[in-house]
Amino acid sequence: MKENVQYNDTTAFRKFVIKSITTLLKRTENIDIRLKRIEAELGNRKELIESEDEAITLPLNNVEDVEEFETELKDKQTFNKMIQRLKFCTGKKVNAIVNLILKKLFSNELAAEYSWHGKKGKKPLNKLIRLTKLIKKAVQVNCPTSTDTQIESAGGYWLAQASIRIKRKK
């Protein structure tokens, strides 16, 4: 667009404004069409990924489920499918992404049995190497600059709040 242009009459200025608005409307329509295509494609991929992983039921509800899931994650294909499944948990900040991923993976009742480092007599999540690696990788898909420390801190906080979420639910 032209800037700092002097118009000697209002007719020329009006024509310029109308032309500019028309151009913006066309661009907006094109962007809208492209966005709808992208959303449709992402929706199709999400449905495909979730249908492929019906064998893995989420959220996990008990310690046995967690141990079985940890074993299943040894398979690279399963691990990568889970990354694809969890990458739809998006947010603007690391904490929000971690919260969504953990909410997808764990029921609150199960989360109440864990802490990231096993404090207060709880089971240590960080001993589940593949599961914690999955969480970190899934977060880093959406937030590549996130650090392990940020993810662990957010995850630890989410786990610590599980009993509060359970009480609120009742």
* Least confidently predicted of 7-11, 25-29, 38-42: 38-42
- CB-CB contact of 63 with 123 (8 Å): yes
Given a cut of 90, whether residue 6 has pLDDT beyond it is no
- Residues above pLDDT 70, as percent of the chain: 89
The predicted-structure confidence for 85-115, as pLDDT tens digits, reads as follows 898 888 889 999 999 999 999 999 999 999 9
Residue 59 preceded by cis peptide, ω within 30: yes
* The pLDDT value given to residue 7: 73
Question: What's the fold here for domain 57-169?
Answer: Arc Repressor Mutant, subunit A (1.10.10)
The predicted-structure confidence for 107-157, as pLDDT tens digits, reads as follows 999 999 999 999 999 999 999 999 999 999 999 999 999 999 999 999 999
Token pair, residue 135, equals 């969480």
* The pLDDT value given to residue 12: 85
Q: Give the Cβ contact number of residue 23 at 10 Å.
A: 11
The neighbouring-strand residues paired with 124 are 115
- CB-CB contact of 32 with 90 (8 Å): no
State pTM to two decimals: 0.70
